[in-house]
Structure 1
Amino acid sequence: MIEDFRLPDLGEGLPEAEIVAWLVAEGDTVSLNQTIAEVETAKAVVELPSPHAGTIAKLHAAAGDVVAVGSVLVSYELGAAVSATPADRASAEADLGEKAEPNLVGYGAAPRTGARPQRRARSTASRADASDTAVLEAAPHDAIHVAEVDRPVERPRSTPPVRLFAKQLGVDLALVEATGAGGIITRADVEAYASRVGVAPAAAVPSRAPASDRTADVTASRERTTRTPIRGVRKHTADAMVRSAFTAPHVTTFLTVDVTATTELIASLKADRALQDHRIGVMAVAAKAVCLALAHHPGLNSSWDEEAGEIVAHHYVNLGIAAATGRGLVVPNIRDAQDLTLVELADAIRVLAQTARAGKTPPADMMGGTFSITNVGVFGVDAGTPIINPGEAAILALGAVRRQPWEHRGEIALRDVMTLALSFDHRLVDGEQGSRFLVDVGDVLREPGRAMLLR
């Protein structure tokens, strides 16, 4: 008997998903809940478990294809195999949200053991362990485990544009030697392989401008432009930011603060052996300051419900942390951040950022935020005018900490100074509220001991 499996709604209400990689092939026998593919939505890379035990009769899409929700994805030949029962599916739905890696809604049974499903082996050699580089952190693929052996191997690592380029040339990335940092396959690697096996690279786009000394060294084999489809996280972020910019009346206010006391506190905490496993930085202190200040300025922790005609005040803080990744900007949030200590906030921020850069943030972690922070200072930027995350009232941008002359106790001294930028929705927050909130955050960063007086 042939049974079709349609791409389900992954619990996000998104209309489509991209097939990142198939972990099975036609003719393979799979077990219930075995991971058969990785799909990328506008928010995250999600593992797709098999809803049946049987044989893969047909794959209806290729890696790199964008598939609409509800379209047939896989056809199974079930034979004597038994698919998931309604009770199993109900169990899976009950488990959703309680497991670190939940099954998809309505498909598959909840695993009866803590073991992860094994994946099908791919014909590729084991590559070196991942190095801690920005390029590698942006790559969404992690080490996988093969059913036939106990040692970890890795699928080919590359970026979406390189995968698309390889697909256009008909090059199997598993056969390409990687020279990029941390085992990343670059466009040059694909071109070098294609040249060796006799595959012609895509033709270069001819320049319309006359040749000049500046462009004389450009070879015919080098493309002058690269086109990348607008989809996934970048498309979702663009849609959300446009909607926010043209719906919420944005106002941005700035405050420059002497944060020398905060940097000295951080230095002392780093020197404490009991805290050596925790990365406490300015971001964590700012997060704690925001949580304390929101308790006194609830308007900045509220939402505008257009349909109900109501202002919704939140009595908790789901703190969004903007994370730049190779797939685009994502803003996962820390649940009930108001209840966390400084050390707990620092740990949560680190884990959140690592998960986001790996493309493994659960979709649920990017919904329900009430206030966000973005750190533009890590890029050497002093200030900006951030756009509010849709559904929230405000967002705080942290600028770079700079050592510069500053008035201190009636004299000029070298101090650590940074600029805070607060954008807020003027429907929910007026100028006085926004300014007082920003001053309260700045006061904690100026004198961290003031946090001992707040609750």
Structure 2
Amino acid sequence: MSIAPDASDVNCLEFKLPDLGEGLTEAEIVRWLVEIGDVVVVDQPVVEVETAKALVEVPCPYAGMVTARFGEEGAELPVGSPLLTVTVGPEVGAGAGHDARGVSRGSGASRTGAAGAGDSAGASGADDDSSGNVLVGYGTGGAVAARRRRVRVTGGTRPGSVPPSALRAGPVPVISPLVRRLAREHGVDLRGLAGSGPDGLILRSDVEQAIRTPAAEGTDQAARVDAGPAPEPVAAAAVAAPGATTATETSTAVAGSRVPLRGMRGAVADKLARSRREIPDATCWVDADATELMAARAAMNAAAGPTVPKISVLALLARVCTAALARFPELNSTVDMEAREVVRLPSVNLGFAAQTDRGLVVPVVREADGRTTESLNEEFIRLTEAARNGALTPAELTGGTFTLNNYGVFGVDGSTPIINHPEAAMLGVGRIVPKPWVHEGELAVRQVVQLSLTFDHRVCDGGTAGGFLRYVADCVEQPAVLLRGV
């Protein structure tokens, strides 16, 4: 690939997928934010990737023109593999506010400080003045504002890149990788869909509608860039004789569809399988009258006024959990089998299960035992919003010591959840619904909830687990019980 300046004044820098931290070794390309021919500046996000922990935008440490991209959307790349190439030269850099070497004027961060972006060939021909950023929000603080400018590229494309003529300008308005995967599996071109969500966001229903529409079944195969190879044509014999079963049909019926276990879904699968293999878990449960807890919540919200965020049931249960863990610290621990020791943890990092379009995630509230109910509520709101937007950082998804799982939002009463390895316990909460209940010696209709505790039998026996669960139930039935420990 060539551009106008003399070859001696041009550097082609290769940007590799950086180390994203938390021991992650690979990432899936969710969305390209730049196209071949775009001019990028230092620290401009160029691709959105999904790791086993979160969705992150990866910024480019170089300034210049994008000349190649490696990997289609949906492809999985190992850390250190080529991500894209950027051509840096006097004409390219001048248009983007950079010097002849493609380096941001006034930048003081070292290119060698950008982890995973090493390029031995390019580094020798350019000054060591580039961003130290690896991920957005990390490294250098003064990122240059991203601005895109189209530049015509002459010549062909490098192997593994996507030709600019095959893509429509601008990113595809899709947040959920599940929507992208569904489109790829059925050969639907997302760039040709009009989303029905906010600001034109493409939803799963939009893709399903496109799949059902005959026009989406192959009238324009050339437009299906993301879909991969088109499905094989049906044999003529199958058309002539609908009742006959061909070898292709039999093979498809036996094989079924296959969904890759990778990214966050793969990490969840690995963690749950490991939990089942390593942890001898047991579950106990109890029904509790939550009428007084709901009344206390209503009183707290009424006293706070309309402008203050409403206290959620989850926040109240979290406050109950931290009080119970202070009384039964065995359940806030982990097991070191190599040392054959139960490790009691100094503080409670409370995880809570949150269902998103990307699947189940468990954000973590740090040092929850030192927070008030209002503080817990604020953190739940912040982390839940970040989870829905796919903006949780790896640090916000790791380090939990105990998990609170409110599966009542799915309309079910009980469950025996799998412990979030390497934690020692998880409290499950079912739906709170009116049920017949004996209250003060008489039958009445009360707000009843089922509480279940799944625990690692290595850290404690049933007496400790039962004591923890009974204390939680007592606090739910009589919130004033919490005041005893204040």
Shared topology, TM-score over 0.5?
A: yes
Matched, 1:394 2:394: no
2:294 pairs with one of 263, 280, 302 = 263
Q: Give the alignment of 1:9-158 within 5 angstroms.
A: 9-79=19-89, 80-82=101-103, 87=110, 103-104=133-134, 110-112=140-142, 117-118=145-146, 120=148, 155-157=172-174
Secondary structure of 2:327's counterpart equals coil
Per the TM alignment, residue 340 of structure 1 is displaced from its structure 2 partner at its CA by 1.3
Verify the 8 A CA contact 2:55 2:391 in the aligned structure 1.
yes
Q: Which moved more, 1:390-399 or 1:323-332?
A: 323-332
| In structure 2, distance between residues paired with 1:444 and 1:171 | 52
User: For the structure 1 residues 405 and 40, does the alpha-carbon distance in structure 2 shift closer, same or farther, using more than 3 Å as the test?
Assistant: same
Deviation (angstroms), 1:226: 5.1
TM-score (norm: length of structure 1): 0.79
Distance 1:370 1:323 in 2: 16
CA apart distance, 1:454:
1.2
Letter in 1 for 2:80: G
Is 1:190 equivalent to 2:221 in the alignment? no
Q: Distance in 2 between matches of 1:347 and 1:412?
A: 38
Q: 245-254 or 273-282: which moved more?
A: 273-282
Using a 3 Å threshold, how does the CA distance of structure 1 residues 204 and 422 change in structure 2: closer, same or farther?
A: farther
Residue equivalent to 1:163: 180
Match of 1:374 in 2: 405
What residue in structure 2 maps to residue 136 of structure 1?
Answer: none
Aligned with 2:276 (options 232, 242, 245) = 245
Answer whether contact 1:303 1:392 (CA < 8 A) is retained: yes
Distance 1:391 1:414 in 2: 40
What is the Cα deviation at residue 180 of structure 1? 5.9
Distance 2:408 2:110 in 1: 51
CA contact under 8 A between 1:169 and 1:199: conserved in structure 2? Answer: no
Match of residue 145 from structure 1: none
Q: Which amino acid aligns with 1:118?
A: A
What is the CA-CA distance between 1:12 and the residue it aligns to? 2.1
Tell me, in whole angstroms, the C-alpha distance in 2 between the residues paired with 1:159 and 1:24: 19
The SS at the match of 1:271 is helix
Match of 1:435 in 2: 466
* Deviation digits for residues 61-120 of structure 1 (CA, Å, limit 9, x no counterpart): 121111111211112223312388764765999xxxxxxxx942799951326x7x4364
**Structure 2 CA distance for partners of 1:62 and 1:258, relative to 1, 3 Å:** same
Secondary structure (helix, strand or coil) at the match of 1:2 reads: strand
Is the 1:388–1:394 contact (alpha carbons within 8 Å) kept by the matching residues of 2? yes
- Deviation (angstroms), 1:39: 0.4
Deviation, 1:295, is 0.9
Alignment of 1:290-301 (within 5 A): 290-301=321-332
Contact 2:188 2:207 in 1 (8 A): no
Counterpart in the other structure of 1:174: 191
Q: Deviations over 1:351-407 (max 9, x none)?
A: 212211221110011111110000111111111111111121100000111111111
After the TM superposition, which residues 262-341 of structure 1 pair with which residues of structure 2 at under 5 Å, given as runs? 262-274=293-305, 276-341=307-372
Asked if the contact 1:88–1:110 (Cα under 8 Å) also holds between the matched residues in 2, the reply is: no
Range with bigger deviation, 187-196 or 282-291: 187-196
* Alpha-carbon distance in structure 2 between the residues aligned to 1:34 and 1:432: 56
Q: Give the counterpart letter for 2:71 in structure 1.
A: A
2:409 match: secondary structure: helix
1:3 deviates by 2.1
Distance in 1 separating the partners of 2:114 and 2:266: 34
- Contact kept, 8 Å, 1:32 with 1:109, in 2: the verdict is no
Gaps of 5+ in 2: 1-10, 90-100, 117-131, 151-169, 223-229, 244-254
SS at match of 2:300: helix
Taking the aligned partners of 2:384 and 2:218, their CA distance within structure 1 comes to: 39
- Looking at structure 1, the residues matched to 413 and 233 of structure 2 have their Cα atoms a distance apart, in angstroms, of 39
- 2:61, 2:111 within 8 Å by CA — same for their partners in 1? no
Relative distance call for 1:106 and 1:402 in structure 2 (3 A) is closer
Structure 1: gaps (5+ residues):
94-101, 123-152, 213-223
Residues 90, 106 of structure 1: 8 Å contact kept: no
The 1-side partners of 2:328 and 2:341 are apart by 18
Task: Give the secondary-structure state (helix, strand or coil) at the position aligned to 1:295.
Answer: helix
The alignment status of 1:364 with 2:395, answered yes or no, reads yes
Residue 154 of structure 1 and its aligned partner are, at CA, apart by: 7.8
**CA distance in structure 2 between the aligned counterparts of 1:105 and 1:21, rounded to whole angstroms:** 15
Distance 1:170 1:432, change over 3 A: closer
- Structure-2 change in CA distance of 1:121 and 1:343 (3 Å): farther
For 2:276 and 2:218, how far apart are their aligned partners in 1?
50
Secondary structure at the counterpart of residue 447 of structure 2: strand
Take 1:232 and 1:362, find their aligned partners in 2: how far apart are those partners?
Answer: 14
- The question of whether the paired residues in 1 share the 8 Å contact of 2:61 and 2:114 is answered with no
What is the deviation of 1:199?
3.6
Structure 1 residues 188 and 21: alpha-carbon distance in aligned structure 2, compared to 1, 3 A threshold: same
SS in 1 for 2:466: helix
Q: Say which one has the larger Rg.
A: 2
Q: CA–CA distance in 2 between the matches of 1:384 and 1:168?
A: 33
Shift of 1:187: 2.0
Range moving further from structure 2, 361-370 or 158-167: 158-167
CA distance 1:171–1:403, change in 2 (3 Å): closer
Counterpart CA distance in 2 for 1:347 and 1:211 is 60
- Percent of pairs identical after alignment? 39
**71 and 368 in structure 1: CA distance in 2 versus 1, 3 angstrom threshold:** same
